Amino acid sequence: MPLTERSAIDAGSGEAHTRLNSVPSDPIRSSTTKLPVLLFNPNPVAAGILTMQLRRAGFETHMAVDGFAAVSMARGQQFSSIIVVADLADAQMRKCLHELRDAEPQAWLIVIIDPPVVRSRDLVRELGGNAVMDAPFTFSDLAWRLSVLPARGPSVG
């Protein structure tokens, strides 16, 4: 049997993969060729946990816990996706979403709404968001969405 067909078990995930192809067959883990992901969550503990989960799933992830830092990072580097955990009742957060879209117009802007507000999906779209998720959300759903997105988002005009 050729070396490429020998299977081994990935210690981190418990999934089978070949010795020459060290990336498990899980599509979530096969997305490492994309540009990095920016995570903005004002809750530093939750941001740290989600960042670790994303990195473990194979996504190069940068984290910001305040709007100024998130916008600065988006202006200074290209990202495939920007994930924002947002309280849309907060005017400062809505302003930050708009600034993030302006700073990185081709990244997928995924907004996790926490807590939900009336017309939240319409409001996110008006602010330039491409996808909306309600909290609570599952990590597997978020990782799946990230894994199936193209490397760069659609132009938002």
pLDDT for position 116? 82
How many residues can be counted in the chain? Answer: 157
Euclidean distance between CA atoms 130 and 148, whole angstroms: 14
Q: How far apart are CA 10 and CA 74, in angstroms?
A: 33
Whether pLDDT at 20 is above 50: no
Q: What is the pLDDT of residue 32?
A: 43
- Tell me the pLDDT of the chain averaged across its residues: 79
- Provide the 10 A C-beta neighbour count for residue 156: 15
User: For the structural domain made of 31-148, what CATH number should be given?
Assistant: 3.40.50.2300
Collect all residues with Cβ–Cβ distance below 8 Å to 98 and sequence separation of at least 6.
Answer: 127, 128
Instruction: Give the lowest-confidence range in 24-28, 104-108, 127-131, 144-148.
Output: 24-28
Domain ranges of the chain: 1-27, 31-148
pLDDT of residue 153: 55
What angle in degrees, to the nearest 10, is found between the helix axes of 91-103 and 67-76? 10
pTM of the complete model beyond 0.85? no
Cα separation, 155 vs 157, whole angstroms = 6
